[in-house]
């Protein structure tokens, strides 16, 4: 058995273990899905009447941003789970088993991807109930969800680095939110980037969150010719930009996560 095959096989076992944990503690999944549902309802009914988007319903404009935000929030489960396993000594038990070192990370990120699939399905149903509609073909809609899930999976790896570095779920939660909130709000998630002041506008236009959000809007058919067209390359080519961001994040953070794992278990 090659090292890659062994890592994938062992990773599947770890992923199964994490999914069984969700089954035994359903509160994890319940509260993971409640948060995005609250965001959809609050923004749709509280801010929806106050924010106008030319040529498109704000609720349809909103959903792609909520989807992308939820993908990032879902990725934090990876860091929290690894920090908990480090704190409780689960990682030390894994070390005593004849398994690939990368299997813990592969299993963790894979199981969290499954969790994100469930959350996205629940969010899509909620969006449909509040008035969101898909105006593109089924194939384009599937591609939109695919881009979101790829981005969620990629973001799990930097979260894994942080989760292994801090070794405490409480510290990880505080550290991750310091990064997540600017990343998700200085973007086109809830308003157009043209409404932002100079420096923030530039940050938002080159923010990977904006590219993924714009890609989702286009693939779901939630755009309008009346809305000001983007002037920067990532938002003019959002699908390609999103895929490039996903590849770049994985290229950088997969090796960093594996190296951080080795350092953490050697403490």
Task: Return per-residue pLDDT of the chain as tens, 267 residues.
Answer: 456 676 677 677 777 777 776 666 666 667 677 777 887 888 777 776 667 777 778 888 888 998 998 888 888 888 888 888 777 777 767 766 667 777 788 888 888 888 888 888 888 888 888 888 899 999 999 999 999 999 999 999 999 998 888 867 888 888 888 888 888 888 988 888 877 888 888 998 999 999 999 999 999 998 877 777 678 999 999 999 999 999 999 999 999 998 888 887 766
The residue behind tokens 């308003």 is 191
Which positions ≥6 away from 232 have C-beta within 8 Å?
A: 205, 206
pLDDT at 85: 79
Reduced to 3 states (helix: H, G, I; strand: E, B; else coil), residue 26 is coil
> How many Cβ atoms are within 10 Å of 240's Cβ, its own excluded?
13
pLDDT at 84: 83
This prediction has a pTM of: 0.89
pLDDT at 31: 67
Sign (positive or negative) of CA dihedral 166, 180, 120, 208: negative
Comparing CA positions, the residue from 134, 154, 152, 136 lying closest to residue 68 is 152
pLDDT at 261: 85
What CA–CA distances, in Å, run from 106 to 79, 113, 262? 13, 11, 14
Q: Are 264 and 164 in contact (CB under 8 A)?
A: yes
Q: Are 221 and 160 in contact (CB under 8 A)?
A: no
What CA–CA distances, in Å, run from 120 to 95, 137, 171, 240? 34, 19, 27, 22
Which positions ≥6 away from 238 have C-beta within 8 Å?
A: 211, 212, 213, 214, 215, 218
Structure tokens at 202: 């530039």
pLDDT at 49: 65
pLDDT at 96: 67
pLDDT at 212: 96
The residue behind tokens 């157009």 is 192
């Amino acid at each position: 058995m090659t090292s890659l095959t062994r890592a994938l096989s062992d990773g599947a076992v770890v992923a199964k273990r994490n999914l069984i944990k969700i089954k035994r503690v359903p509160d994890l999944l319940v509260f993971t899905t409640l948060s995005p549902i609250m965001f959809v309802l609050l923004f749709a009914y509280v801010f929806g009447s106050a924010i106008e988007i030319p040529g498109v319903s704000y609720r349809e404009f909103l959903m792609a941003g909520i989807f992308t935000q939820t993908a990032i929030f879902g990725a934090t489960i990876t860091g929290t789970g690894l920090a908990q396993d480090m704190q409780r000594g689960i990682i030390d038990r894994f070390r005593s088993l004849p398994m690939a070192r990368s299997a813990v990370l592969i299993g963790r990120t894979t199981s969290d991807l499954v969790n994100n699939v469930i959350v996205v399905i629940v969010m899509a149903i909620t969006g449909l109930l509040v008035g969101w509609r898909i105006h593109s073909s089924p194939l384009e809609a599937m591609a939109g969800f695919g881009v979101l899930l790829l981005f969620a999976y990629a973001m799990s790896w930097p979260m894994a680095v942080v989760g292994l570095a801090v070794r405490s779920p409480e510290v990880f939660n505080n550290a991750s939110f310091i990064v997540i909130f600017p990343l998700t709000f200085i973007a086109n998630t809830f308003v157009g980037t043209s409404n932002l002041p100079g420096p923030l506008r530039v940050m938002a236009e080159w923010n990977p969150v904006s590219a993924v959000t714009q890609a989702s809007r286009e693939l779901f058919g939630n755009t309008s010719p009346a809305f000001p067209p983007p002037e920067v390359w990532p938002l003019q080519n959002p699908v390609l930009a999103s895929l490039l961001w996903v590849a770049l994040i994985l290229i950088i953070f997969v090796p960093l996560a594996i190296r951080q794992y080795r350092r953490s278990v050697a403490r």
